[in-house]
């Protein structure tokens, strides 16, 4: 008889989302890609439990919150260090954990990093819309207090543990290697030097759609020296330059935008590191 694991939200923390591999190939229809903000941490959680690449995970932002976990099975947590505890005792992250009974899983504010991932070995009974549970569509249920899900358990896998629990967290300041975007030639010399010489930090209103950067210069950033644009295609990794300052688009980014696309992140894997930055963390560009 298959085991059933129950997960219930007592407190969602800083923001919790179901994620899988997202909705690839639908951006031409105006549908964001979605998927884990930090795919590297998410994939390692799946590997620890020998799950398929498209297995559903729970993504936590800044604070883990509180969750009731009931049943017999295995779970693993990767990504940011949120000081996780189960029934008041510390939980090792990047490790397979066996459960059999009722547990209170409790995560605090992220000590390092921004996002954690909870994998449970089993099949989550969550509906997929356009092939995914990822946020970004109105049909997707928001995770709030009282939210519940059932997971059909699988046979146990062998114990596994990683010694390096910070393997997916960036070294600060994070330096992003970038290449000029379509509107870069239209910027003034002053605006180009702004990106080459200034350092930035993450603004408070960053999210899965994009991170907003605030310049560390004492003077206000120069505005883009381009005429008002017709909305043009954008992708995760596009760096837009509205008057309020640069925005680096992430997984839930819109498919078109009307702000100058001044730079592009060269290595898509750097977006995983970017997703692990907290507000106030430093970012520089390497052109």
The percent of residues in the chain predicted with pLDDT above 70, rounded, is 95
Q: Is the dihedral of CA 127, 131, 137, 138 positive or negative?
A: negative
Phi, psi (degrees; rounded to nearest 5) at 272 = -60, -45
Q: What is the mean pLDDT of residues 36-47?
A: 98
Closest CA to 108 of 63, 165, 61, 67: 63
Assign a CATH topology to domain 174-286.
Cyclophilin (2.40.100)
3-state secondary structure 241-285: CCCCCCEEECCCCCCEECCCEEEEECCCCHHHHHCCCCCCCEEEE
Peptide linkage before 173 cis (omega within 30 of 0): yes
Q: How far is CA 171 from the centre of its chain?
A: 17
Domain limits, the chain = 4-153, 174-286
> Half-sphere exposure (CA, 13 Å, Cβ side) for 111?
8
Q: What band does 109 get if pLDDT is binned at 50, 70 and 90? A: very high
Q: What is the mean pLDDT of residues 54-81?
A: 97
Q: In this model, does residue 24 exceed pLDDT 50? A: yes
Residue 226: predicted pLDDT = 58
Q: In this model, does residue 55 exceed pLDDT 50? A: yes
pLDDT digits (tens, 9 = 90+) for 126-149: 999 999 999 988 889 999 999 999
Q: In this model, does residue 36 exceed pLDDT 50? A: yes
Q: What band does 91 get if pLDDT is binned at 50, 70 and 90? A: very high
Contacts of 155 (CB under 8 A, 6+ apart): none
| Residues composing the chain | 287
Closest CA to 49 of 122, 124, 134, 104: 122
Residue 175: predicted pLDDT = 96
Q: How far is CA 42 from the centre of its chain?
A: 9
Q: In this model, does residue 2 exceed pLDDT 80? A: no
The percent of residues in the chain predicted with pLDDT above 90, rounded, is 84
Residue 1: predicted pLDDT = 45
3-state secondary structure of 192: helix
Residue 218: predicted pLDDT = 63
Phi, psi (degrees; rounded to nearest 5) at 228 = -60, 130
Sheet strands (E) in 16-121: 16-19, 57-61, 63-81, 85-86, 89-90, 97-109, 112-120
pLDDT digits (tens, 9 = 90+) for 213-235: 998 876 656 665 555 678 899 99
Q: What is the mean pLDDT of residues 172-191?
A: 93
Q: Give the Å distances, CA to CA, from 235 to 28, 93, 99, 252.
A: 11, 32, 40, 10
Predicted model pTM: 0.95
Counting runs of H as helices and runs of E as strands, what totals does the chain give?
3, 19
């Amino acid at each position: 008889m298959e085991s059933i694991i129950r997960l219930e939200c007592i407190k969602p923390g800083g923001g919790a989302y179901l994620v899988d591999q997202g909705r690839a190939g639908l951006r031409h229809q105006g549908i964001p890609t979605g998927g884990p903000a930090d795919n590297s941490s998410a994939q390692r959680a799946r590997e620890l439990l020998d799950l398929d690449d498209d297995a559903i995970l729970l993504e936590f932002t800044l604070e883990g919150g509180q969750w009731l976990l009931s049943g017999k099975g295995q779970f693993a947590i990767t990504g940011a260090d949120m000081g996780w505890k189960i029934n008041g005792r510390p939980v090792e992250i990047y490790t397979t954990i066996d459960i059999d009974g009722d547990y209170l899983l409790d995560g605090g504010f992220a000590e390092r990093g921004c996002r954690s991932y909870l994998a449970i070995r089993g099949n989550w009974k969550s509906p997929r819309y356009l092939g995914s549970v990822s946020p970004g569509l109105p049909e997707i249920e928001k995770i709030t207090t009282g939210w519940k899900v059932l997971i059909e358990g699988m046979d146990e896998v062998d114990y596994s543990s990683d010694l390096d629990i910070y393997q997916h967290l960036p070294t600060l300041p994070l330096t992003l290697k970038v290449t000029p975007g379509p509107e870069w030639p239209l910027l003034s010399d002053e605006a180009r030097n702004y990106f080459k010489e200034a350092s930035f930090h993450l603004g408070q209103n960053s999210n899965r759609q994009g991170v907003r950067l605030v310049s560390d210069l004492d003077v206000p950033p120069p505005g883009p020296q381009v005429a008002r644009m017709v909305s043009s295609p954008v992708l995760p990794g596009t760096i837009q330059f509205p008057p309020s300052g640069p925005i680096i688009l992430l997984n839930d980014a819109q498919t078109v935008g009307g702000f100058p696309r001044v730079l592009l992140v060269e290595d898509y894997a750097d977006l995983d590191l970017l997703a692990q930055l907290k507000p106030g963390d430093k970012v520089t560009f390497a052109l």
